[in-house]
């Protein structure tokens, strides 16, 4: 996988299947994506589950919060029907069978996958150490560990990950609002390094040639998210950006020459 940029499925192939479901991950892998990306948080029984929002209002059409339900309960809740209702042309009847998967179940779907696996720690609670510990326990013995990049907006989680799993790759995540606090983009590199991140993952609006150059000098590969315009493929190639996270990996791969 030496091509640049690598095409990574954001929450799977989430333009064509309900996000963060086994169906979305299978679809991204089948499309030939170079990697997948997903969000992890803790169910009430301490099991890492794969879902973005802190509650089920958007994808489960119910008000429960993820942290109030066990992984077994979450594994029985339909989080696919909303997609078919919102996007009837892309919807499928079988999406109604999609439920909140555990991290272990997602890794099982990826067991023969040779691409990258971006694991985002969704730190929705003050006690992020419990999330780090639970995720590390699941991935520690996985044969997929060398393909994984554990990332978070909560930069304090990164040294916790590295303490438990020194060999795993980590990435510091930054969204556009970071510029409300840091006056210059170059400080993003310094912050990421200070917390021990190996890589940096940026919203595409933060990208400048200078910033990518500084990251390259710091030996920190850059990933951007979430880019669905095919023009980003050529721009990433020109700038030397390692990977591009997209909702539609098939579309981005089609323009990748």
Domain that holds residue 66: 6-254
Query: pLDDT digit string (tens) for 220-238?
Result: 999 999 999 999 999 999 9
Confidence of residue 257 (pLDDT cuts 50, 70, 90): low
* Tens digit of each residue's pLDDT (9 = 90 or more) over 110-163: 999 999 999 999 987 778 999 999 999 999 999 999 999 999 999 999 999 999
| Long-range own/partner contacts, residues 123-127 (CB < 8 A, 24 or more apart) | 123/152, 123/153, 123/154, 123/157, 124/41, 124/54, 124/66, 124/67, 125/42, 125/67
Number of domains in the chain: 1
Residue 1 lies inside a defined structural domain of this protein: no
pLDDT per position as a tens digit, 166-183 = 999 999 999 999 999 998
Q: Return the pLDDT at 211.
A: 96
169 assigned to some structural domain: yes
| pLDDT tens profile 21-35 | 999 999 999 999 999
Distance CA 20, CA 37 (A): 9
Strand partners, 187: none
Distance CA 222, CA 145 (A): 20
pLDDT confidence bin for 90, thresholds 50/70/90:
very high
Does some domain include residue 56? yes
**Predicted structure pTM score:** 0.97
Residue 1: per-residue pLDDT: 44
- Calculate the average pLDDT of the chain: 96
Residue 120 falls inside a structural domain: yes
Instruction: List the CATH number of the domain containing 117.
Output: 3.20.20.190
Q: Can you give the pLDDT at residue 183? A: 84
């Amino acid at each position: 996988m030496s091509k640049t940029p690598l095409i990574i499925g954001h929450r799977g192939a989430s333009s064509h299947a309900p996000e963060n479901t086994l169906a979305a991950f299978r679809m991204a892998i089948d499309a030939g994506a170079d990697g997948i990306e997903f969000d992890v948080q803790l169910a009430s029984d301490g099991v890492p589950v794969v879902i973005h929002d802190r509650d089920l209002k958007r994808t489960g059409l119910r008000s429960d919060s993820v942290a109030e339900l066990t992984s077994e309960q979450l594994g029985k809740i339909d989080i696919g029907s909303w997609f078919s209702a919102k996007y009837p042309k892309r919807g499928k009847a079988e999406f109604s069978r999609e439920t909140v998967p555990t991290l272990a179940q997602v890794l099982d779907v990826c067991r023969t996958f040779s691409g990258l696996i971006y694991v985002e720690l969704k730190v929705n609670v003050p006690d992020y150490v419990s999330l780090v510990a639970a995720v590390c326990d699941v991935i520690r013995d996985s044969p997929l560990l060398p393909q994984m990049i554990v990332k978070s907006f909560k930069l304090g989680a990164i040294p916790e990950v590295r303490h438990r799993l020194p060999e795993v790759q980590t990435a510091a995540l930054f969204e556009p609002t970071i510029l409300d606090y840091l006056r210059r983009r170059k400080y993003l590199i310094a912050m990421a390094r200070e917390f021990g991140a190996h890589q940096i993952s940026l919203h595409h609006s933060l990208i400048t040639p200078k910033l990518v150059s500084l990251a390259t000098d710091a030996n920190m590969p850059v990933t951007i998210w979430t880019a669905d315009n095919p023009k980003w493929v050529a721009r990433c190639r020109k700038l030397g950006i390692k990977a591009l996270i997209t909702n539609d990996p098939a579309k981005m791969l089609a323009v990748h020459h």
